[in-house]
Amino acid sequence: MKKWFMIPIAISLLLAITYPTYAISNRAVHWGFTKGKNEQQADAGKEYDELLKKHHAVYKGNPQDKILYLTFDNGYENGYTEAILDVLKKEKVPATFFVTGHYLKSQPNLVKRMVKEGHIIGNHSWSHPDMTQISDEKIREELRKVKEETARITKQKEMHYLRPPRGILSERTMEIANQEGYTHVLWSLAFLDWRINQQKGWKYSYDNIMAQVHPGAIMLLHTVSRDNAEALEKSIKDLKGRGYRFESLDYFMMKEKVKSPLPGS
């Protein structure tokens, strides 16, 4: 009788020890930061900085280098990506496009063009879930399907950059991504540009970009935005006029010497 009595107590003690650890590792973080201004860098704070450093994640580069890293999130097509690609080609600006499964399935020709013109395809998950709410196995599946479909329709066989859907992440999701060979790429410049029914004109996009820009900025824009498409060329030209230049995420990783999350490296 005494042994049976002790079993529930032992289970309770085990849960008390292990559950807090799991809860901490899976605590959802909604990415955010204090915006940059007057060309001073955005700041996510010590806690977030340490979390990202632990998992080799990035959101901004060297504050001394007037280098910008342009990235786009592509969940679906709204008719503006072709114009954006035209501007990038004209201005010789590299970009990274974080795509979903829906985008790969519905816009293979645009994805092919991105790669053909020297841009990088990043992983934005297959179905855009909150990854902190799905299993380890499901996370791996979400990442694998995007990588495989990208490789099938383009010449990009490898995929190293991940942008978590909705900007939600946790220690657990970051660890799994690292195991799969991914670097989390967050951002230090963004604004409400994805609401397609609340577009405010090209100047809204332009003003937000110019107000927040800073050395080392990883810029997040959405291609569904008409404002972004119409403001992009002037924004790029004026940023170049301020002494900035644009580089790719591959350059970022080399320049910043970010430790690779690839297994065994």
**Structural domains in the chain (count):** 1
For residue 261, tell me if it sits in a domain: no
Q: By residue range, what is the domain housing residue 186?
A: 2-256
- List of residues 6+ apart from 38 with CB closer than 8 A: none
**CATH (domain of 16):** 3.20.20.370
Q: What is the dihedral of CA 171, 173, 174, 178, to 10 degrees?
A: 130
Position 261 scores a pLDDT of 67
**Mean pLDDT, rounded, for 173-193:** 97
- Strand-pair category, 218-222 with 168-169: unpaired
Nearest CA-CA partner of 95 in 249, 238, 251 = 249
193 is catalytic: no
Q: Is residue 264 part of a domain?
A: no
Among 73, 124, 128, 214, the one annotated catalytic: 73
Task: Determine the average pLDDT of the residues in 224-246.
Answer: 98
250 within domain boundaries: yes
Residue 33 lies in a domain: yes
**Whole-number pLDDT of residue 101:** 98
Of 124, 128, 222, 227, the catalytic one is: 222
Over range 83-103, report the average pLDDT: 98
Q: pLDDT for 135-153, tens place per residue? A: 999 999 999 999 999 999 9
Q: Is the pTM of this model over 0.85?
A: yes
- For the segment 17-23, the average pLDDT, to the nearest whole number, is 38
Q: Could you confirm whether 222 is annotated as catalytic?
A: yes
pLDDT of 264 strictly over 90: no
